[in-house]
């Protein structure tokens, strides 16, 4: 809760900085604030506090995800440092991002559906604007409009679902609803199930699971690169944490209702994400599809729905986000240099800047799930959780899908090391980016080696 207040305060502070003219100093303040958020929320480990009439519940799940989100946000700010240097609406960007983080934190710690809705809306509304923040770029405008239209549609479904569930149970509280299900099992009206499924649709949209994923490639590609990075990491993590929290606390006992549907959804997502990614020439768009594919893997945790799920989903989102941040950092440096986001821009990077190429390779290998990178263990724990619940089929599909995944991740690696591009001038990397890349690389390896520690948190 303190972290939430700190984040909101930080957001307001950035707005004030515009008025009182200290906006040049706001960048380090925000970084410090994010570190503070991590510390503040980590202090609540094992306290399990309920807030304001059970609106929020800071259990270890919430604390862990708050820390994760704040950390990724920290890394993200380092990544987008030079983007902001050129940006005129500096404080607006900062404020929107920070408020989006507030939404994300609410989404991982809510205990009441009204809070879930507010969290999602706060996050989404900031992003609608941020996606369109390049006002002179048609693609950016298109992305914002599409995201907004489709997002509004999905919100409609979500809200409808919440309303139906409220109608049956008379409560927004997750625990009360869960109790209602156990008390009335076998006697629950169809209205309730419809509500559950409609909420599922709304959440599936947010995590961009097929067939509700159509917005993702267009929006990811059209948005400014750093915003895409934000959406692919923080938004995805928060949305998934919210999805899982909802289903784990509330609907885990009625798996017969949604199990098969999520099963099909997971297969579709894995197939669409991985297969379409193979044909992309733009790295940005490829990463967009890969992020869809990763949503498919994450769905396995929801299908598993056992005591391993929470830990594995934490590990997976962490591994995925860190690797994605690395990939986006390299991509942003490349785009800055050559103004080209196609895979050709990576040609010969192994010669032009071996460190960057190495970082990208590690990120790609981690995303592809090659040991000993963190991504392998993420997949491994997810598959393990699913196998524990007897979900063998979906694990087989996921393994096949990850084999397809290897193909397109390696395209980038091959381009970097085995092809030579027209431009062979060395690529410069700023100090902050170097720092960030070293940090993420260490994390990717460390998480692989100490996967056990992370997984035992939850």
Cβ atoms of 197 and 265 closer than 8 Å: no
Tell me how far, at minimum, the Cβ of 311 lies from another protein, in Å: 8
User: What distance separates the 2 farthest-apart alpha carbons in the chain?
Assistant: 70
Instruction: Out of 32, 35, 163, 414, point to the residue binding another protein (CB under 8 A).
Output: 414
Candidates 45, 121, 181, 252: give the one binding another protein (CB under 8 A): 121
Instruction: Find the binding residues for another protein in span 208-267 (CB under 8 A).
Output: 211-212, 214-215, 217-218, 256-257, 260-261
DSSP 447: H
Rule CB under 8 A: say whether 163 interacts with another protein.
Answer: no
| Cβ neighbours of 392 (radius 10 Å) | 11
Binding of residue 372 to another protein (CB under 8 A): yes
Task: In whole angstroms, give the CA distance from residue 28 to residue 17.
Answer: 13
Report how far Cα 75 is from the mean position of its chain's Cα atoms. 14
Per DSSP, what are the bridge partners of residue 342?
282
Binding test (CB under 8 A) with another protein, winner from 157, 230, 297, 346: 157
d(CA 336, CA 413): 20
Smallest separation, CB 328 to another protein (Å) = 21
CA distance 318 to 375: 9
Q: Whole-number minimum distance, CB 115 to another protein, in Å?
A: 6
Identify which of 225, 73, 243 has the alpha carbon closest to the alpha carbon of residue 154: 243
| Interface with another protein, residue 424, by CB under 8 A | no
Is 39 or 404 the residue whose CB approaches another protein more closely?
404
Neighbouring CB atoms inside 10 A of 52's CB total 10
Nearest to 253 by CA among 196, 295, 189: 196
Of residues 49 through 108, those in contact with another protein by CB under 8 A are: 51-53, 55-56, 88-89, 92-93, 95-96, 99-100, 102-103, 106
Coil/strand/helix, residue 212: coil
Per CB under 8 A, 24 contacts another protein: no
Q: Measured from the CB of residue 340, what is the shortest distance to another protein in angstroms? A: 20
Burial (CB count within 10 angstroms: exposed 0-12, middle 13-18, buried 19+), residue 381: buried
- Which of 48, 393, 420, 424 is close enough to bind another protein by CB under 8 A? 420
| DSSP track, 175-210 | HHHHHHHHHTTT---HHHHHHHHHHHHHHHHHTT-T
The stretch near another protein (CB under 8 A) out of 25-33, 243-251, 332-340, 398-406 is 398-406
Q: Is the CB of 15 or the CB of 42 nearer to another protein?
A: 15
Asked if residue 137 binds another protein (CB under 8 A), the reply is no
| Shortest Å distance, C-beta 276 to another protein | 5
In the complex with another protein, which residue's Cβ is closer, 325 or 405? 405
Query: Site for another protein (CB under 8 A): which residue of 418, 424, 442, 446?
Result: 418
Helix (H) or strand (E) holding 49: strand 49-51
Q: Residue 108 corresponds to which tokens in the numbers above?
A: 């991982």
User: Which residue in the set 149, 435, 438, 446 belongs to the binding site for another protein (CB under 8 A)?
Assistant: 149
Specify which residues 50 forms β-bridges with: 57
Determine the size of the site formed for another protein (CB under 8 A): 98
- Site map (CB under 8 A) of another protein, residues 330-369, x = contact: ----------------------------------------
Between 66 and 169, CB nearer to another protein? 169
Question: 230: closest CA among 32, 75, 39?
Answer: 75
Q: Does 445 bind another protein (CB under 8 A)?
A: no
Among 22, 35, 428, 452, binds another protein (CB under 8 A): 452
């Amino acid at each position: 809760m303190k972290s939430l207040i700190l984040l909101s305060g930080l957001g307001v502070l950035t707005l004030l900085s515009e008025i009182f003219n200290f906006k040049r100093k706001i960048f380090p303040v925000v970084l410090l604030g994010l570190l503070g958020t991590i510390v503040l929320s980590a202090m609540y480990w094992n306290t399990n506090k309920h807030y304001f009439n059970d609106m929020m519940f800071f259990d270890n799940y919430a604390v862990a995800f708050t820390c994760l989100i704040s950390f990724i946000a920290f890394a993200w700010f380092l990544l987008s440092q030079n983007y902001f240097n050129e940006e005129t609406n500096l404080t607006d960007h900062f404020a929107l991002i920070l408020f989006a983080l507030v939404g994300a934190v609410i989404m991982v710690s809510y205990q009441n559906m009204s809070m879930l809705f507010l969290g999602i809306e706060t996050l989404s509304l900031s992003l609608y604007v941020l996606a369109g923040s390049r006002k002179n770029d048609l693609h950016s405008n298109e992305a914002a409009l599409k995201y907004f239209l489709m997002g509004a549609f999905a919100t409609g479904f979500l809200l409808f679902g919440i309303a139906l569930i409220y109608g049956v149970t008379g409560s927004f509280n997750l625990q009360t609803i869960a109790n209602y299900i156990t008390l009335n099992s076998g006697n629950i009206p169809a209205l309730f199930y419809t509500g559950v499924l409609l909420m599922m649709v709304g959440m599936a949209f947010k995590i961009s699971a097929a067939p509700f994923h159509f917005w993702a490639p267009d929006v990811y590609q059209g948005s400014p690169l750093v915003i895409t990075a934000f959406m692919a990491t923080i938004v995805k993590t928060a949305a998934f944490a919210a999805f899982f929290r909802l289903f784990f606390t509330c609907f885990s006992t009625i798996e017969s209702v949604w199990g098969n549907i999520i099963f099909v959804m997971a297969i579709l997502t894995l197939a669409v994400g991985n297969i379409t990614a193979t044909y992309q020439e733009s790295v940005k768009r490829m990463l967009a599809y890969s992020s869809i594919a990763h949503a498919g893997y994450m769905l396995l945790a929801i299908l598993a729905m056992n005591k391993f799920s929470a830990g594995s989903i934490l590990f997976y989102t962490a591994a995925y986000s860190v690797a994605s941040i690395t990939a986006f950092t390299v991509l942003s440096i490349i785009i800055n240099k050559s103004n080209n986001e196609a895979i050709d821009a990576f040609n010969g990077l192994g010669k032009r800047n071996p460190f960057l190429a190495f970082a990208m390779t590690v990120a790609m290998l981690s995303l592809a799930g090659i040991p000993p990178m963190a991504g392998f263990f993420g997949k491994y724990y997810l598959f393990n959780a699913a196998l524990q619940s007897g979900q063998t089929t979906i694990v087989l599909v996921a393994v096949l899908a990850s084999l397809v995944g290897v193909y397109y991740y390696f395209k980038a690696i091959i381009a970097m090391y085995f092809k030579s591009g027209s431009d062979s001038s060395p690529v410069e990397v700023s100090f902050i980016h170097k720092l960030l890349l070293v940090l993420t690389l260490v994390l990717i390896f460390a998480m692989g080696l100490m996967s056990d520690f992370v997984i035992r948190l939850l």
